[in-house]
Chain A
Amino acid sequence: MRVKVLSRNPDDYLRETKLDLQRVPRNYDPALHPFEVPREYTRALNATKLERVFAKPFLSSLDGHRDGVNCMAKHPKSLSTVLSGACDGEVKIWNLTKRQCIRTIQAHEGFVRGMCARFCGTSFFTVGDDKTVKQWKMESPEYGEEEEPIHTILGKTVYTGIDHHWKEAVFATCGHQVDIWDEQRTSPMCSLTWGFDSISSVKFNPIETYLLGSCASDRNIVLYDMRKSTPLKKVILNMRTNTLCWNPMEAFVFTAANEDYNLYTFDMRYLESPVTVHMDHVSAVLDVDYSPTGKEFVSASFDKSVRIFPVDKGHSREVYHTKRMQHVITVKWTSDNKYILCGSDEMNIRLWKANASEKLGVLAPREKAAMNYNQKLKEKFQYHPQIRRIAQHRHLPKSIFCQIKEQRIMREARRRKELNRRKHSKPGSMPFVSERKKHIVAVVK
């Protein structure tokens, strides 16, 4: 007689000594692990809830300026250094690890309108209301030395912005027109102009380094080619663009922060319609900066909030606000993709986490594995209504919340009116204009 019996040797299951790890015998037979989908769903729900529990993005506030912060610049080689310029002409250099100011310079009389660091990281440039362009050393002065700029250029008109070339010793300023300067010269190499109004910001393309973009007060965005010394083309929008930022990963993509509460991502080869319209702010968008991955950007708005948008989506994934933070004038995303710095007009620079629920510091391999698993679960079930509801819920200050409701009502009213007009008019007489094209007036070459 033969009998088949399940026979286990306890030695295979028990640990040998107290110092060993416990063994975990696993049987992967799917019949023994039923309810795969509901269990994963429950885990995804828990992961989403925990993400909201651990979402504490505010890290610290850099205190020290005596007037509103007007502009910021990142150090190209050091992750822990950031420069900021205030409305009283002061420039401060901060150390982010100690969260302290390491150097203060009285750079200008009047506003510091713009600043940028040279690509090598040894010096930086500032422009101010006193019609000067000054170049400073990045290192602190030795004992006994005074704070003196390396170089000062006096101009005839007020300069409103400055940006340095990513590879060559060339920088561009904007004010009345866009001037391209060689660092050694005191007069611009060439002046580019198209239109009659002042230009608020200028930015060099980090990848195609001879391209520039500028935003003017007559609601247009002009693209220039440095090699040709002429403007390339321009696009006229409905309202003025405050500033623009080039995507560090895609050579031809830039995002413009507009006064009509939206941001527009354009492909410079096809300016007729933006790639995406990003709508979520309730007041003018003042500044925009890309993440080094090129997949997201952060925008600062007059409505006292900072929002993070994915490049391909029309709505923000995150909003940061504080009771103490007033109108946010400038924002930067640090080069290690982890932090966001925003300067507001109440004299503080705030440091935030880019991923609100991220754990900073070194993670154990198990922690990392658990976080990856949770991330994947959240992605898998992101469209289920309960999970989506929890994941997208954010607390908003009352002013912004009421503004959003009001603007939604206004938009619905406009849409209904248009629908009724279309219904009661001859079919075909009112063409459908896509949301993207609505905001563009013209493209001129």
Chain B
Amino acid sequence: MAAAAAAAANGGRSRTLHRRQRAGPGPAASASHGGERGDTGSVSGVGRGTPGGGSRYGKRGIRGGFGTGGGGPGASPPGTRPRSLSAQRKDPFPGPPAPALAPEAVGAAGRSGGRPGGSVGPAAPRGAGVSPLCVPRSVPRVSPSALLCPLTPPFQRPPRFLEADPGEDTCTITQGDIAEAVDIASAAKHFDLRLEQFGPYRLDYTRNGRHLLLGGRRGHVAAMDWQTKALMCEINVMETVTDVAWLHTETLLAVAQRRWLHVYDNQGLELNCLKSFPGVLQLQFLPYHFLLATANDKGFLQYLDISVGKEVAALCTRGGRLAVMAQNPANAIIHLGHSNGTVTLWSPTVSEPLVRMLCHRGALRALAVDPTGTYMASAGLDRKLRVFDLRTYRVLQELVLPQGAGHLAFSQRGVLAAACGRVAPTQKPGGGKDNNPYRSRRQRQEWEVKALLEKIPAELITLDPTQLGCVDTASLQQKREERIQRLGFDPQAKAKFKPRRRAKGNNLLHRKRKVAHEEQRAVIRQSVEQREQEKKKKRKERRKEESSPPPKRGALDRFKK
């Protein structure tokens, strides 16, 4: 059981994560950070929280095993085996032995802002027996396998978030270097999570970027405020967890477990077990509609309205196992990736996909849509990364990745991050640009009420969100036709324009001139008519002659006179 002494820095608060002791004779690199900052925390998956256990529901029970004060700064000297805090309590579910960290496993993914819903790939090859906490942190983590692709129109200079000095390659920059290069406040936000025991992790941030939710495959679910490192809850749901998602605020979270979908409080209390959502593989929350979209392994896309708690739609996608899902934040359309290389776009009210795009030659591995809803990035088993324009559904860019991308995410600035290989990207988000991360509880409550009042009904989800503001010309025409039929005339028809006669000065002269030429014109008209009549007559005669066939010469004609 890997339990370490709590750092005195947090004053022994009972809600902190484990903190590894920063002892003086520790690794040299870390000493420069000082005792308070640059702390790494490691979340060791202490299994607690069996459904049956009463202690699971007690707040103390969950957090009892972690950082319960105790142990001052001068605790275990390096090299000794870390002792558990409360020697009496032992973790009944220790999980598999923690593997040793391989140097290349943990990658530096650099910066990606906003809300990365990253899935952390399998952290390291499973070693044997060595506690991860003994590995010195200063091992450089080189990872060429996380790519940052800025997506901007070609004529604009892409914004550089990380500019390397000449001679330095951005691939070799480690998290530690970045932490040294930025200002103190941002460096303080850098933290490290060692999540080695409980399988590949799924992450989610709340919309204001303040709270982080982790879900490990082996059942570990943890919610924390990453800025203050305050742990909100940490439980093990004793089942395979395929995806986790925050709901509209940091008070509710949804966990897709092996059998059903569960909704938990941020204190770890189970609120709902939704048995009508079996086998969910992916979760996406549509914030403006209060809809939780779930894709399950039987090919069903289900929408749950969390404000009223009802299932809005269950669409049979007929596309097989739905393991790849993304939402378009601009129009709340769900993109599903299928194993035949197609991406289908769905709205809850339509039972057929709105659009079907053939994107890759093999199965899809990852999908992401940018926040403005103009680009979609897709990665497939054919090792290609393609960027599509969502207005024309055509390919814009294509990249070949030697190791296919397992996960894609767009930042709020239009930077695409692709997780390749076995990467555990330690995100350093800048926080959500919307929704104040410093809001108080009162502000959150008021915001929640307003947001619920403005909840957009699911029927309004369309490919073009501005369609509601356009004139419905089809209905207008139809109504107009009906009215004409009913009334018998068209009330909107304008009378033909009759130009007013302009009374000019010499009207008399004009009239006289007209009259003078009338006789001539009459004569000419007559003669022309006569000529035409003659022509007609001639034509008729000619036709008669032609039409009447020449008399046949019979055998006895020579006897006629």
Contacts and interface: CB of A to CB of B under 8 A. Distances in A.
Interface range for A: 35 or more
Contacts of A37: 465-469
Contact of A35 (B165, B185, B186, B465): B465
Contact of A419 (B161, B185, B332, B488): B488
Main secondary structure, interface of B, reads: loop
B434 to A, nearest CB: 4
B371 A43 contact: no
A42 interface: yes
29 contacts: A1-B181, A4-B111, A5-B186, A5-B428, A6-B113, A7-B186, A8-B431, A22-B440, A27-B433, A27-B434, A31-B330, A31-B371, A32-B371, A34-B329, A34-B331, A34-B373, A35-B331, A35-B456, A35-B465, A37-B465, A38-B288, A38-B460, A39-B288, A46-B453, A384-B468, A419-B487, A419-B488, A422-B488, A432-B489
A321 to B, nearest CB: 30
Interface string B432-472: 01101111101100000000011111001000011111000
Contacts of A22: 439-440, 442-443
A128 to B, nearest CB: 48
A90 B344 CA distance: 80
Nearest to B439: A22
B183 interface: yes
B173 interface: yes
A2 B163 contact: yes
A9 B185 contact: yes
Given A2-B163, A6-B113, A27-B433, A42 B442 contact: no
A245 B240 CA distance: 79
Interface in B354-403: 371-373
A32 B173 contact: no
Interface of B: 111, 113, 159-165, 168, 173, 177-178, 181-183, 185-186, 288, 329-332, 371-373, 412, 428, 430-431, 433-434, 436-440, 442-443, 453-457, 460, 465-469, 486-489
> Top 8 A-B pairs ranked by shortest CB distance?
A6-B430, A13-B438, A37-B469, A419-B488, A32-B434, A2-B163, A38-B456, A5-B186
B543 to A, nearest CB: 38
A34 B288 contact: yes
Given A34-B330, A38-B460, A42-B453, 18 more contacts: A2-B160, A3-B161, A3-B178, A4-B111, A4-B159, A4-B161, A6-B113, A8-B431, A9-B185, A10-B438, A22-B442, A31-B371, A33-B434, A34-B329, A34-B465, A35-B331, A37-B466, A419-B488
Contacts, number: 115
A110 B224 CA distance: 86
Interface in A171-190: none
A14 interface: yes
A365 interface: no
A63 interface: no
Which residue among B331, B371, B430, B438 has the maximum number of chain A CB atoms within 10 Å of its CB? B438
B177 A1 contact: yes
Contacts of B111: 3-5
A418 interface: yes
B455 A42 contact: yes
B468 A5 contact: no
Contacts of B467: 37
A23 to B, nearest CB: 8
Contact of B430 (A5, A42, A422, A432): A5
B315 to A, nearest CB: 21
Contacts of B330: 31, 34
B456 A39 contact: yes
Contact of A7 (B163, B165, B182, B489): B182
Contacts of A394: none
Contacts of A25: 436
Given A34-B330, A35-B465, A1 B164 contact: yes
Contact of B183 (A5, A46, A415, A432): A5
A46 B186 CA distance: 43
A24 interface: yes
A151 to B, nearest CB: 55
B443 A4 contact: no
A29 interface: yes
A2 B373 contact: no
B465 A42 contact: no
A34 B465 CA distance: 9
Interface string A411-445: 00001001100110000000010000000000000
A41 B434 contact: no
B456 A415 contact: no
Nearest to A430: B488
A7 B161 CA distance: 13
Which residue among A2, A24, A27, A46 has the maximum number of chain B CB atoms within 10 Å of its CB? A2
A236 B178 CA distance: 92
A423 B487 CA distance: 12
B457 A42 contact: yes
A24 B431 contact: no
B277 to A, nearest CB: 25
A162 to B, nearest CB: 42
Nearest to A39: B454
Contacts of A41: 460, 468
B429 to A, nearest CB: 8
A434 to B, nearest CB: 9
A374 B397 CA distance: 45
Contacts of A33: 434
Contacts of B454: 39, 42-43, 46
